[in-house]
Chain A
Amino acid sequence: QVQLQESGPGLVKPSETLSLTCTVSGASISSRYSSWIRQSPGKGREWMGYIHYSGTTNYNPSLKSRVTISMDTSKNQFSLNLSSVTAADTAVYYCATGVGFRIEYWGLGTLVTVSS
Chain B
Amino acid sequence: DIVMTQSPDSLAVSLGERATINCKSSQSILSSSNNKNYLGWYQQKPGQPPKPIVDWASTRASGVPDRFSGSGSGTDFTLTISSLQAEDVAIYFCQQYYSAPLTFGQGTKVEIK
Contacts and interface: CB of A to CB of B under 8 A. Distances in A.
A92 to B, nearest CB: 11
A103 B52 CA distance: 8
A103 B49 CA distance: 12
B48 A45 contact: no
Contacts of B98: 101
Contacts of B80: none
B100 interface: yes
Nearest to B4: A44
B49 A94 contact: yes
Contacts, number: 49
A38 to B, nearest CB: 11
B103 interface: yes
Contacts of A102: 38, 40, 55, 97
B104 interface: yes
A4 B48 CA distance: 12
A101 B102 contact: yes
Interface string B17-32: 0000000000000000
A112 B49 CA distance: 17
A62 B101 CA distance: 9
A61 B101 contact: yes
A44 B101 contact: no
A106 B50 contact: yes
Contact of A103 (B47, B95, B105, B107): B95
Contacts of B47: 108
Q: Which of A4, A61, A106, A108 has the most CB of B within 10 A?
A: A106
B9 to A, nearest CB: 11
A37 B73 CA distance: 26
Contact of B93 (A45, A58, A60, A100): A45
B106 interface: yes
A35 B102 CA distance: 10
B25 to A, nearest CB: 14
8 contacts: A47-B100, A47-B104, A58-B100, A60-B101, A101-B102, A102-B97, A103-B42, A103-B102
